[in-house]
Amino acid sequence: MTRFAAPIAEQIWDMKYRLKEAGGAPIDQSVEDTWRRIARALAEVEQDKAGWEDRFYAALEDFQYLPAGRIVAGAGTGRSVTLFNCFVMGTIPDSMGGIFDNLREAALTMQQGGGIGYDFSTIRPKGAEVHGVAADASGPLSFMDVWDAMCRTIMSAGSRRGAMMATLRCDHPDIEAFIAAKSDPARLRMFNVSVLVTDAFMAAVEADGPWDLIFGGRVYHTLQARDLWNKIMRATYDYAEPGVIFIDRINAENNLNYVETIAATNPCGEQPLPPYGACLLGSINLSRLVEDPFTEAARIDPARLADLVATSVRMMDNVVDASRFPLEAQAQEARAKRRIGLGVTGLADALAMMGLRYGSDAAVAQTGAWMEAIANASYRASALLAAEKGAFPLFDAVAYAKAPMILRLDPEVQALIAEHGLRNALLTSIAPTGTISLFAGNVSSGIEPIFANSYTRKVLQPDGTRTEEEVVDYAVALWRDHMGDAPLSDHFVTAQTLAPMDHVRMQAAAQPWIDSSISKTINVPADISFEDFKDVYAEAYRTGCKGCTTYRPNDVTGSVLTVSEAQDKPDGREAAEAAGGEIIYMSEPLDRPAALEGHTYKVKWPDSEHALYITINDIILAGHRRPFEVFINSKNMEHFAWTVALTRMISAVFRRGGDVSFVVEELKAVFDPRGGAWMNGKYVPSILAAIGGVIERHMVSIGFIAGEGMGLKSDPQAQVVNLGHKPGPACPSCGQYDMRMAEGCLTCNSCGYSKCG
């Protein structure tokens, strides 16, 4: 019997988490092998390695505890990757040299697969005087553009693009430009952006008072606080960004406010971190813990939950010692505080299995109770770990005992902390779990509601045939197993039908027990009024949330995977069927036909003795011609190794399908520090950029893209069949139109790709 609850779960495992040899042959023969690999790696730091390996395996088994994807993919592999999910970089100095030193550190961090956050509030505003060079400052947004370009050229470990978060204080003189930056859909594409909102600003908004924009003690401009707030609200209403981070609340609630000040978060916002702060993440899968689901006796056993939490905390603490770090400063910061972020996933499924409607009073109360139990169990486990292995180095018993989170814990847990200290300075966080939720059988993600009860996934098989695959929410599938064809109970509710304030209530219920923060997206309908939209943020602030992220379908980001489950046809087929759909996603690379048509192009790079010859062969799928493979040849042996590598990499990308035009963009962005060349009246920054230009012209000639610098020639949205869905943006990894906004991040339901890394 397979361990996987759905075909997509096994496919996610094979694509993302299964250990394989360099040539693709699997090392992990089963998911049990993957669990064993992780358990063995994380038990290496224990004295009783075999005993703890078995206990760790038992926690991982059946997807009860889900380490974050980087741990699942990297632990026990011997690869030079970080097992930490997210970092906040050092404070950016207000100097050109310091700024570019930070850019270098960011690049090194992204190479190992870490998502990163920055506070750009330390950079002087646009137009400010730069002493000593007789020039005006270009402002923080200009440097954000530099970071954005860097991120586009670096692929994170596991073939993921890097993810970044940029924050700016609400009193920075360039805040209005920052708020408006993402109105241009082509700008800052690699960034999530959020405004650091202070308590003083919110008070000024409430009083409709003035608000000073200040840098270096100088007031640059004064405006009405409510006008600035409305600009923030209008921007996120129109194009979903910027997010809002209540930074004073974060610092006041921080257990470590006696040794650190926070000004930035990781890309999805669930980890407010100090300079060089790092955090690793993991989730308790509540849906796997519900006993006797859909009955009056449905429950989660408190003792079983507490035991699983304790084992998970120990595993995560061991990751601090087992992981590599891109920078020594990050290693020192992690070891000084031993921060971890244990959260949950499958919450909405668990509530449905308990007969509770997500967002109801009973569900809010149950959520708070589960989070309280997890918090107490986490801190209890960390205190006992401190007794065994020692407290984190910066633990100060007197200062730490004053933290609001500590004062909320059970007296027995507070007493343990006072006696032994804590192994981990912070312990709880609710992170995005999009991919690992699919891996665990399509359980509901994080603390989000069920996004859709089911949807149809399209897969192109290697022989060119098309298959349809129903992907069913875990709790819905379990209902079918228990209840047969009985209609779903009223306890099942999806993100599309949930009232926005119900989202807020659920986030607020969890927040008191989360010492870091929560990654959550509040989905709101496109027709929500602006005033009602603003009320969502006001309620989030009033009820103690540390931040707020909403998503409203809009013209800039598109209508991401909206679901219309009520529009089914009488015969059971859903209303969104369309004829002749071209399916883009491929489960495996296509086999090469015996013969392909193509073209060969000659590129003569100035000052080079030999020309390059670039052959591009095409394949025809569903009546459309698309690039399939590339060969690059030259008599210049200096080029041999990199041209072979480039040939293999580009061909591998082409054979996976999807909108592969991004290859052109990446190649054309490469610059040679020795200088480029003028070719046919255009400056080309490198020989790789010249190759990108050739591939682009070929794509134009076969009709794959509309023109130089343009996208696909025909709109696949009109052709791809996604039953039950209105098309949104295509996934940049697999090409499917299954992107959704969840937990503050665009995530693909088909392949698990996440914009946030």
Closest CA to 660 of 696, 616, 689, 685: 696
504 φ, ψ (degrees, to nearest 5): -60, -45
Domain presence at residue 608: yes
Per-residue burial over 316-355, b if 16 or more Cβ lie within 10 Å, else e, is bbbbbebbebbbebbbebbebbbbbbbbbbbbbbbbbbbb
**Cβ atoms of 322 and 75 closer than 8 Å:** yes
> Minimum mean pLDDT among 174-188, 626-640, 714-728: which range?
714-728
Rounded CA separation 314/382 (Å): 8
How does strand 682-684 pair with strand 677-679? antiparallel
Using DSSP, state whether 480 is helix, strand or coil: helix
Between CA 238 and CA 231 the distance in angstroms is 10
| Cβ-Cβ contacts under 8 Å for 482 (sequence gap 6 or more) | 293, 294
3-state DSSP assignment of residue 155: strand
Query: How many other C-beta atoms are found inside a 10 Å radius of the C-beta of residue 494?
Result: 18
Which residues are registered as beta bridge partners of 212?
A: 222
Dihedral (C-alpha) 460, 463, 468, 469: value to the nearest 10 degrees? -80
* Nearest CA-CA partner of 283 in 46, 496, 514: 514
**541 phi and psi, to 5 degrees?**
-65, -45
Pairing of strands 547-548, 243-246: antiparallel
Flag whether 446 is in a domain: no
Cβ pair 450, 444 in contact under 8 A:
yes
| Cβ-based burial of 697 (10 A; exposed 0-12, middle 13-18, buried ≥19) | middle
Task: Specify the pairing of strand 340-345 against strand 299-300.
Answer: unpaired
Q: Is 533 part of any domain?
A: no
Question: What's the domain range around 658?
Answer: 597-710
Amino acid letter for position 194? S
Residue 369 domain flag: no
Count of residues in the chain = 757
Residue 206's pLDDT band (boundaries 50, 70, 90)? Answer: very high
Kindly report the backbone phi and psi dihedral angles of residue 450, in degrees, each rounded to the nearest multiple of 5, phi listed first.
-60, 130
Alpha-helix residue ranges (DSSP H) falling in 391-499: 397-400, 404-408, 411-420, 434-439, 474-483
The stretch 127-136 carries a mean pLDDT of 81
Choose one of 237, 253, 269: the last residue of a domain. Answer: 253
Residue 562, pLDDT > 80, answer no
Q: What is the pLDDT of residue 462?
A: 57
Cα–Cα distance measured from residue 747 to residue 192, given in angstroms and rounded to the nearest whole number: 14
Q: Report the relative pairing of strands 299-300 and 466-472 from DSSP bridges.
A: unpaired
User: Quick check: 735 and 750 in contact, CB under 8 A?
Assistant: no
Q: Which residues of 157-189 are buried (b: 16+ CB within 10 A; e: fewer)?
A: bbebbbbbbbbbbbbbbbbbebbbbbeeeeebe
* DSSP run (H or E) holding 246: strand 243-246
How many C-beta neighbours within 10 Å does residue 91 have?
A: 18
**pLDDT digits over 15-39, tens only?**
889 999 987 899 999 999 999 999 9
Lowest mean pLDDT among 273-282, 332-341, 654-663, 708-717: 708-717
**Is position 523 within any domain?**
no
CB 444, CB 747: distance < 8 Å:
no
Structure-token pair, residue 217: 């003690």
Contact 359, 498 (CB under 8 A): yes
User: 728 falls in which pLDDT band (50, 70, 90)?
Assistant: low
Q: Per the domain annotation, does 724 fall within a domain?
A: no
The amino acid at 145: D
591: confidence class by pLDDT, cuts 50, 70, 90: low
- Residue among 294, 538, 189, 258 nearest 406 (CA): 258
pLDDT of residue 731: 62
Which of 233, 253, 273 marks a domain boundary?
253
Beta bridge partners of 240: none
CA 307 to CA 59: how far, in whole Å?
9
CB neighbours of residue 600 within 10 Å: 11
Amino acid at 729: P
pLDDT of residue 418: 97
CA distance 359 to 505: 7
Within the chain, how many helices (H) and strands (E) appear? Answer: 24, 32
- The pLDDT value recorded for residue 367 is 98
Q: Which helix (H) or strand (E) holds 203?
A: helix 199-207
Question: What is the per-residue pLDDT for 726?
Answer: 40
Q: For 537, what's the count of Cα atoms within 13 Å in the CB-facing half-sphere? A: 27
CB atoms within 10 A of CB 519: 31
- Find the angle CA(724)-CA(710)-CA(139) to the nearest 5 degrees: 100
Tell me, yes or no, whether 487 lies in a domain.
Answer: no
* Range list of H helices, 559-661: 640-656
Confidence of residue 290 (pLDDT cuts 50, 70, 90): very high
Least confident of 369-383, 481-495, 526-540, 589-603: 589-603
State the Cα–Cα distance between residues 644 and 650, nearest whole angstrom: 10
Which residue from 571, 433, 481 is spatially nearest to 67, judged by alpha carbons?
433
Report the chain's mean pLDDT, rounded to a whole number: 86
pLDDT tens readout for residues 670-703:
877 777 888 877 788 888 889 999 999 999 999 8
Q: What are phi and psi of 331, to 5 degrees?
A: -65, -45
Q: Is the pLDDT of residue 292 over 90?
A: yes
Reported as a single tens digit per residue, the pLDDT across 376-429 is 999 999 999 999 999 999 999 999 999 999 999 999 999 999 999 999 999 999
Rounded Cα–Cα distance for residues 346 and 447 (Å): 7
What is the DSSP track for 326-384? SSHHHHHHHHHH--EEEEEE-HHHHHHHTT--TTSHHHHHHHHHHHHHHHHHHHHHHHH
43-47, 300-304, 324-328, 722-726: the lowest-pLDDT one: 722-726
Confidence bin at 571 (pLDDT 50/70/90): very low
User: What is the tally of structural domains in the chain?
Assistant: 2
Q: Which one, of 704, 660, 697, 663, lies nearest residue 679 by Cα?
A: 697
Q: What is the rounded distance in angstroms from the CA atom of residue 510 to the CA atom of residue 298?
A: 21
The candidate with the shortest Cα–Cα distance to 198, out of 218, 171, 160, is 171
Q: What pLDDT score does 233 carry?
A: 97
Out of 669, 685, 710, a domain closes at 710
Q: Is the pLDDT of residue 435 over 80?
A: yes
> Which residues carry out catalysis?
266, 268, 270
Identify which of 310-324, 464-478, 706-720 has the greatest average pLDDT: 310-324
CA proximity to 293, closest of 476, 470, 58: 476
Contact 87, 116 (CB under 8 A): yes
C-alpha–C-alpha distance, residues 479 and 189, integer Å: 40
Tell me which of 62-66, 190-194, 341-345 is least confident.
190-194
Can you tell me the distance from the alpha carbon of 513 to that of 504, in angstroms, rounded to the nearest whole number?
15
Give the model confidence (pLDDT) of 67-123 as tens digits: 999 999 999 998 877 898 889 999 999 998 999 999 999 888 887 767 899 999 999
Mean pLDDT across 555-582 = 39
> pLDDT tens across 511-540, in order?
999 999 999 999 899 999 999 999 999 999
Residues 6+ apart with CB under 8 A from 539: 501, 504
Closest Cα partner for 58 from 331, 310, 295?
Answer: 310
Task: Specify the higher pLDDT residue, 518 or 557.
Answer: 518
pLDDT of 757 > 70? The answer is: no
